[in-house]
Structure 1
C-alpha cells in the first residue's frame, strides 16, 4: 500500500483532490453516454431496485406528518405554533435519515441484483485502460456471498451514523445546515466504499482493503462519493446514473491503487504505474 500511496501522491490540495474525485464521476457519465450497451446493461437492475426504494421513500413522504407527530409527543401540550415548528423539524429530520438510508441501501441492493451487469461494465472500463493488473478468478457464488456480507455491513454503518444525525436534526440551524452536509459526506464515503467493490474483488481484495485504499486519498474518494450521493437524490437520478457511478468507481479504484486512469499510460505486470500522469 505504501508504494501505491506514493504513486498517487497529490500534487494539489485537498480541494483540488476533491474536485478530481467529482471529475472521476463525470468521466464515468461520459463513458456511460458514449456506450449505449452499458446503458442497457446497467439500467435494468437499477429500475427493479429503484421501483422498490422510490415507492418506500414516497410512502415516507406521504406519512411524514403523521410520523413526525408520533415521535414528538412531548409537544402535544405546547402552543399550536411551537408544536407545528417542532413537527416540521422532525419531519425534515425523518426525510434526511430516510434519504441517507435509501441511497445507501439502493446502491447495495442494486449492485447485488445486477452483479453480472455491473461487473461487465467495470471490466469494460478497465479493459480500455490496459486491463486489470493482478486479476484473480473469483467464483460467482463466492463473490456474491462476500458482496452481500459487505453490503450489509455498510448499510448497518449508515444506520449507525444516521440515527445520531437524525437526533442532531432537532438542533435549530445546525440541524438544517451542518447535518445535511454531514449526511452527504458520510453517505458519499459509504457509496465510494460500496461502488469500488467489483474492481477490488477482481484483484482478490476485500472490504478492509477498500477502506485502507480510500483513506490514502480521502479527498478524492469523498469528491467522487458526494457527487454520486447528491446525484442519486435527484428524482430518477439513482436509476439513470447507477451505471455511470459503476464506471466512475472503476476509475476511482485504479487511482487509489496507483494504476493508470488514462489510456496509454504504461503499467508493469505487477500493476505499478511506470509513468506518472497529470490526471493522477
Structure 2
C-alpha cells in the first residue's frame, strides 16, 4: 500500500477542479462576511504590513533600471541595448512583485495569527468535526513562522532568477515568465494560507504541507492562482486575507479527506 502523503490523486477533470478551487474563495467570502466583526479585525494586519511592502515595491521599481544596467554589462554598445534593458527592468519589477507578495502574505499571517486562527477555527467548527492534533507551544510556533519566512525567500529567489532568464527568450519569454510566476506564486501562497488549519491537524512543516497540496494540484491552483493575483493588488489584498483564510481552511479539509 503506497504512502498517502506521496501519492497525488488522479483527477479526471482538471477544469472542474480549477473551478472548484475558485469556488472555495467565493464560499469563504460568504462565511467570513457573515462574521462581520472578525472580518473587520482581519483587515488590520494587512493594512499595517501593506504600507511597508508597497514602499519596498516602489523602491524596487525605482531601482529596476539601475539593476537592469548592472545585470547586462555585456550589452554595452549593442544596437538594441536600451530595449533589452527596458525588458530586463520590467522583469526585475515583476520578480520583485512575486517575492514581495509571498513575503507580504507570510508576514501578514504571522502578525495577525491570533485573528486568522480564530477565523479558521470558526470555519472549521461550522464545517464539521476533524481530528485535531496537540497544540504547539508559542515559542515553537514563533520559530516555525521565522523558518517559514526564510524558506520562502530561499525558494523564491532562485525561482525568480529562473523566470528572469526565461523572460529574456525572444517573443515567448515574457509570456512564459508571467504564466510561470502566477502558477508558482499561487502554489506558494496556498502553502502559506493553509498553515493554521493544517497545523491544527499536525501538518506543520513546509514539506508536510507540500505533500498535502500534491493530493490535488488542480484544486490547489484553482484556489492559489486567483488568490496570488488578487494579493498583488494592494487595495484588494486588504479584503482578501480573512476571505482566503476561510477558503484555505475549506481547502485543507478537502485535501485531508482525500
Structure 1 length-normalised TM = 0.84
Structure 2 counterparts to residues 157-176 of structure 1, below 5 A: 157-176=155-174
Q: CA 1:39/1:244 → structure 2, altered by over 3 Å: closer, same or farther?
A: same
What's the offset of the Cα at 1:68?
2.2
Q: How many angstroms does 1:152 deviate by?
A: 2.1
Question: Are the structure 2 counterparts of residues 95 and 13 from structure 1 closer, same or farther at C-alpha, using a change threshold of 3 Å?
Answer: same
Structure 2: distance between partners of 1:240 and 1:32: 11
User: Which segment drifts farther, 249-258 or 143-152?
Assistant: 143-152
In structure 1, what is the equivalent of residue 38 of structure 2? 38
Contact conserved, 2:186 with 2:225, CA < 8 A, in 1? yes
Can you list the C-alpha shifts for 1:11-70, whole angstroms capped at 9, x where unaligned? Answer: 751121111111112222222333221222211111111111111001222232333233
Matches within 5 A, 1:8-87: 12-79=12-79, 82-87=80-85
Distance 1:234 1:38 in 2: 22
Aligned to 1:210: 209
CA distance, structure 2, for counterparts of residue 227 and residue 89 of structure 1: 25
User: For the residues of structure 2 that align with 1:59 and 1:151, how far apart are their CA atoms?
Assistant: 21
Structure 2 residue aligned with 1:111:
109
Q: Mark the runs of 5 or more structure 1 residues left unpaired by the alignment.
A: 260-280
Inter-partner Cα distance in structure 1 for 2:201 and 2:144 = 14
**Contact 1:138 / 1:204 at 8 angstroms: preserved in 2?**
no
Could you say which residue in structure 2 is the equivalent of 1:241?
A: 240
Q: RMSD of the alignment, in Å?
A: 2.2
Q: Could you tell me how far apart the structure 1 residues matched to 2:35 and 2:46 are?
A: 17
* Distance across 1 between alignment mates of 2:25 and 2:153: 22
| Maintained 8 Å contact 1:187/1:229 | yes
Q: Normalized against structure 2, the TM-score is what?
A: 0.90
Q: Which runs of 5+ in 2 are unaligned?
A: none
Which residues of 2 match residues 117-128 of structure 1 at below 5 A?
Answer: 117-128=115-126
What SS is found at the alignment partner of 2:135?
coil
Aligned to 1:144: 142
Aligned partners of 1:122 and 1:247 also within 8 Å: yes
Name whichever structure is richer in helix by fraction.
2
User: Which residue does the alignment assign to 2:256?
Assistant: 257
Q: For the residues of structure 1 that align with 2:9 and 2:166, how far apart are their CA atoms?
A: 36
CA distance in 1, matches of 2:33, 2:153: 29
Contact 1:17–1:220 (8 Å) recurs in 2: yes
C-alpha displacement of 1:172: 1.6
1:191 aligns with: 189
